[in-house]
A and B are shown apart, each in its own frame.
Chain A
Amino acid sequence: MKKRNLSIKIISRILIFCIGLGTIIFSIYYYYTRAAIQESTRENAVILAENTINQIEEVIEPAEKLPENLAWIIETGVIPKDSLQYFLAQLVKNNPAIYASAIAFEPHIFSENTPAYAPYAFRNGARINTIDLWSPDYNYFIMDWYQIPAILQQPYWSEPYYDEGGAEALLSTYSVPFFMSKEGQQVLGGIITIDISLDWLTEIVNSVKIFDTGYAFLLSRNGVYVTHPNHSQIMNESIFTQAKEMEQPEMREIGRNMIKGQSNLTSLNLKDKGKVWIYYAPIQSTKWSLGVVYPHNEMFESLQNLNIIILLLAFAGLGLLLFFTIKIINQQISPLAKFADSARTIAEGNFNTRLPNAGNSKEMKELHDSFEFMQKELDNYIVNLKETTSAKEKIESELRIAKEIQMGMIPRIFPPFPNLKEIDLFASLESAKEVGGDLYDFFLLDEEHLCFAIGDVSGKGIPASLFMAVTRTLLRSVADNKKSTAEIVGSINKTLSFNNESNMFVTFFLGILEITTGRLRFCNAGHNPPILIKNKTEANFFNITKGIPVGLFEDFNYSEEVVQIEAGDQLFLYTDGLTEAEDKNNKLFEDNHLLDIIRQYAESVPKEIIEKVTKEVSLHVNGHIQSDDLTMMSIIYYGTKK
């Protein structure tokens, strides 16, 4: 699961990055390509227009030469006047572009008695016919083709016109005035014309194609369409009428500039075609103007095709990138999943599980080494742990046995003397550790004497327990009814003090109770003074004596004291584990507290009293760890009456 998440994470980031980068690169590329296309299209359009104009000029220029040469011939009188008709016919015949040609003389120029003469040669199918244009119905002097160049005294190209019933073609007439000398003066001799078919012009202009619908058109000096892809407009519409029809004032502006002979590249929003670009330039000789139009959108059509190809390639590239990235990542990450499995296996305790192949990446090898190191360390650790644990277990089991032995040394059967009606006795010992340094003991010296003792060895644990065992053994061996308690304690002290380098000591209380009389002899060697409960109501500590703990100074003189116990009195003995029992704030149980509790349960029998005090102590410590051994012993004297 983790593995997949990681690879998805990496892949998605790479993908986002690539898409982002691709988009930026593509945008930049698109922007510059568009600009370049626009620029090159512009240049192409200009070049195309210029070429077309040149082509037109190439046809027009030689055509213009013909009437000019003719004018020179007539002016110089090289050709006899009677052969002019023939000459014209030959001229038309030899120039396929020329449909007809005329020489229209001013009155009385051809001859004194000729008011009007205009020989005219024209094509009639394959033949060339010649006629005189002049007739009463056709007064050529008032025709535009005659009048305008005559007045301007300059060559003049007529507006193109469709010659119906004659040439059945689009024609334009080029008129050139010629001059004669008459009475020493240069006067206008007449007008020479050639009618040129403009079909070639249409062909040239129509051959201009830009993109799908781009085209060229030619305007006459009045703005009339001379050529246009839409044939119905030729000679029928002008750019101005069209502008009005289409309600495109900008178009009129363009038309105006065109007939003024200007050239420019401009854009125009056509209502039907959208944005188009138009370049126009004049044809100087005829004062016509050529326009090249191409739609803006088509300019980028090739780019759009290219874009689709690029996008397809980009997607294919991304797909491939994705495929290989997934493959590589999975290949690189797959050891991780295997390592995870290994970690689990190791965690289950199989430290020697075989580690997966790390592959050849440095990081995986490091991981592999770390795993190997962990395995080895774990293995060592477990071996050590096992050794320590088994050693510890051994000690613990030894300690358990020691405890059993120690506990075996103190009497633990209650009531201890069921046949002895005069006394009842109960005792308890709780070690803070497995073995402890507290002890109690009681036994009958004879039928009338109960010997009992309680003691507390300094320190705790094994050393204390050994000392305790020695003390208890010594007690049993030296206790004798014939000796005083002080003598017995002194004897134990002597033995224990001998070679006691460690300065261990035992606080010790020894008592011998005469069952028949209630007389209690005792010797206290630095032990906590016991409590005497009198009349089941009053409870008080024994007086503190001068006795020091046994084991310290071998020559110390202990003293015996005697107290009379009455029937019903109870003797409560304890070690400092009771009065110094601490709660978690190190607050001690305290002597007075003990005394209060004893007084409260003064009527209870030994077992009850010890149980109550035990309960109070556990309430006081409230779960705090028991710091010292806790020993209690209580003896009630019923007396002989019972």
Chain B
Amino acid sequence: MEITSQKTDDGIIIFVKGRIDTTNYNEFENAVNDIFKDDVSQIYLDCSALNYISSSGLRVFLTIQKKMMGTGGKFKLFAMQPSIKEIFDISGFSSIFSIYADFETAKQN
């Protein structure tokens, strides 16, 4: 898994490449916690290179979502691969998270 982040005018884009599973979700969680050290109003998560996510990874997504909801910010996911989208659909998470086709749409909404 590779995590990179980039500041935008209204928040931050996190780019995750590879898999988030039981073996490395800690790493992902720590990286996300680092981002939370600064106040951010918008977190965009680029899922285009995310190949797999386990329930442990989903839990971290939920943590981000809840935190952002608590501060009045937004957590937006975009460019999700169909297999990941399916996991989100099955688990009902599609109704919890804001999922967009691409960054532009995510930014506009």
Task: List the interface of chain A (C-beta within 8 A of B).
Answer: 456-460, 502-505, 507, 525-529, 544-549, 552-553, 576, 580, 586, 588, 627-628
A526-B92, A548-B96, A580-B52 are known; give 15 further A-B pairs, CB within 8 A.
A456-B55, A459-B56, A460-B56, A503-B59, A503-B66, A505-B62, A525-B92, A526-B90, A526-B91, A529-B90, A546-B95, A548-B95, A552-B62, A580-B54, A628-B54
B62's partner among A503, A525, A544, A545 (CB-CB below 8 A) is A503
- B106 contact set on A, CB distance < 8 A: none
Contact of A548 among B19, B56, B91 (CB under 8 A): B91
User: How far does the alpha carbon of A637 sit from the alpha carbon of B10 in the complex, in Å?
Assistant: 57
8 A-B pairs (CB sep. < 8 Å): A507-B91, A526-B91, A527-B90, A545-B92, A548-B91, A548-B93, A580-B54, A586-B19
Find out whether the CB atom of B92 lies under 8 angstroms from the CB atom of A458. no
* Closest residue on chain B to residue A575 by CB atoms: B55
**Chain A residues in 8 Å Cβ range of B62:** 503, 505, 552
Partner of A549, one of B63, B66, B91: B91
Name the B residues within 8 Å of A458 (CB-CB).
55-56, 58-59
Quick check: B22 and A549 within 8 Å, CB to CB? no
Q: How far is the CA of A395 from the CA of B59 in the complex (A)?
A: 26
Residues of B within 8 A of A459 (CB): 22, 55-56, 59
The 3 closest A-B pairs by CB, nearest first: A548-B92, A458-B55, A526-B91
Complex CA gap A510/B87 in Å reads 19
Within the complex, what minimum Cβ distance (angstroms) separates B96 from chain A? 6
Chain B residues lying within 8 Å of A457, measured Cβ to Cβ, are 55
Beyond A459-B22, A503-B62, A503-B66, whether A576 also contacts B55 by CB under 8 A is yes
Q: Which of A526, A546, A548, A552: most chain B CB closer than 10 A? A: A526
A625 to chain B, nearest CB (A): 11
Instruction: List B residues 40-67 near A (Cβ within 8 Å).
Output: 52, 54-56, 58-59, 62-63, 66
Q: Which residues of B contact A507 (CB under 8 A)?
A: 55, 91
Contact B90 A544 (CB under 8 A): yes
Q: Are B93 and A504 in contact (CB under 8 A)?
A: no
A529 to B28, CA, bound (A): 28
Tell me if B27 counts as interface (CB < 8 A to partner A): no
Chain B residue, CB-CB nearest to A529: B90
Give the contacting residue for A547; candidates B54, B66, B92; CB below 8 A: B92
Contacts of B63 in A (CB 8 A): 503
Using CB atoms, name the residue of chain A closest to B60. A503
In the assembled complex, the Cα of A457 lies from the Cα of B52 at a distance in Å of 18
Q: Whole-angstrom distance from the CB of A506 to the nearest CB of chain B?
A: 9
CA gap between A456 and B59 in the complex, in Å: 13
Q: Which residues of the other chain, B, contact A552 by a CB distance below 8 angstroms?
A: 62, 96
The residues of B that contact A526 with a CB separation of less than 8 Å are: 90-93
Q: Could you tell me the distance between the alpha carbons of A547 and B95 in the complex, rounded to whole angstroms?
A: 9
Give the one of A458, A504, A553 with max B CB within 10 A: A458
Q: Is the interface of B mostly helix, strand, loop or mixed?
A: helix
CA distance A529 to B56 in the complex (A): 20
Q: Say how far B85's CB is from chain A's closest CB, in angstroms.
A: 11
CB of A562 to closest CB in B, whole Å: 19
B59 touching A505, Cβ below 8 Å: yes
Binding site for A on B (CB under 8 A): 19, 21-22, 52, 54-56, 58-59, 62-63, 66, 87, 89-93, 95-96
Do B22 and A460 touch across chains, with their CB atoms under 8 A apart? yes
Q: Which residues of A contact B95 (CB under 8 A)?
A: 546, 548
Bound Cα distance A528, B87 (Å): 9
**Contacts of A549 on B, CB cut-off 8 Å?**
91-93
The answer on a CB contact under 8 Å between A504 and B92 is: no
Cβ contact of B22, chosen from A528, A529, A588, A627, cutoff 8 A: A627
Set of chain B residues within 8 Å of A529, measured between Cβ atoms: 90
Taken together as a complex, chains A and B put the C-alpha atoms of A218 and B90 apart, in Å, by 139
Contacts of A588 in B (CB 8 A): 52
Is B89's CB under 8 angstroms from A544's CB? yes
CB distance from B20 to the nearest CB of A (A): 12
Which of the residues A545, A553, A627 comes within 8 Å of B21, measured between beta carbons?
A: A627
Chain B positions within 8 Å of A547 at CB level: 92
CA distance A459 to B22 in the complex (A): 7
Bound complex: CA A525 to CA B90 (Å): 9
Chain A residues whose C-beta falls within 8 Å of the C-beta of B91 in the assembled complex? 507, 526-527, 548-549
Q: Are A504 and B90 in contact (CB under 8 A)?
A: no
Distance in angstroms from B46 CB to nearest chain A CB is 21
CB distance from A592 to the nearest CB of B (A): 11
Separation of A507 and B54 alpha carbons in the complex (Å):
12
Please indicate the chain A residues that have their CB under 8 angstroms from the CB of B56 in the complex: 458-460
Q: Complex: how many Å from CA A458 to CA B57?
A: 9
- Closest A residue to B64 by beta carbon equals A503
What's the Cα separation between A545 and B22 when bound, in Å? 26
| Bound-complex Cα distance A350 to B56 (A) | 47
Question: Within the complex, what minimum Cβ distance (angstroms) separates B19 from chain A?
Answer: 7
With A and B bound together, what is the CA distance between A544 and B92 in angstroms? 8
- When chains A and B are docked, how far (Å) is the Cα of A142 from the Cα of B70? 168
**Which residues of chain A are near B89, meaning CB under 8 Å?**
544
Bound-state Cα–Cα, A627 to B23, Å: 9
Residue in B52, B54, B90, B96 whose beta carbon sits within 8 Å of that of A528 in the complex: B90
Nearest-neighbour CB distance to chain A for B25, whole angstroms, equals: 8
Q: How distant is the Cα of A548 from the Cα of B55 in the complex, in angstroms?
A: 13
The CA of A545 and the CA of B93, in the complex, are separated in Å by: 11
Residues on the B chain within 8 Å of A580, using CB = 52, 54
Give the chain A neighbours of B54 by CB distance below 8 A.
580, 628
Greatest chain A CB density within 10 A among B56, B63, B66, B91 is at B91
B93 to chain A, nearest CB (A): 6
A578, B45: Cα distance in complex, Å: 28
Residues of A close to B55: CB separation below 8 A? 456-459, 505, 507, 576
Q: How far, in Å, is B91 (CB) from chain A's closest CB?
A: 4
The complex places the Cα of A537 from the Cα of B21 at a distance, in Å, of 36
Instruction: Report the separation of the CA atoms of residues A627 and B56 in the bound assembly, to the nearest whole angstrom.
Output: 12
Q: How far is B62's CA from A529's CA once the two chains are assembled, in angstroms?
A: 21
**Measured between alpha carbons, how far is A580 from B59 in the docked complex, in Å?**
17
A528-B90, A546-B92, A549-B91 given; A504·B19 CB < 8 A: no
Chain B residues, Cβ within 8 Å of A504: 59
Nearest CB of chain B from residue A499's CB, rounded to whole Å: 13
CB nearest neighbor in A for B19: A586
Closest A-chain residue to B67, C-beta based? A503
Q: Which residue of A lies closest to B57 (CB)?
A: A458
Residues of A within 8 A of B93 (CB): 526, 548-549
Whether B90 and A586, one on each chain, are in contact in the complex, defined by CB atoms closer than 8 angstroms, is no
Q: How far is the CB of B30 from chain A (nearest CB, A)?
A: 15
In the complex, A221→B87 CA distance in Å?
A: 139
Query: Roughly how many angstroms separate A505 CA and B92 CA in the complex, as a whole number?
Result: 12
Contacts of B58 in A (CB 8 A): 458, 505
Q: What is the CB-to-nearest-CB distance from A472 to chain B, in angstroms, rounded to a whole number?
A: 17
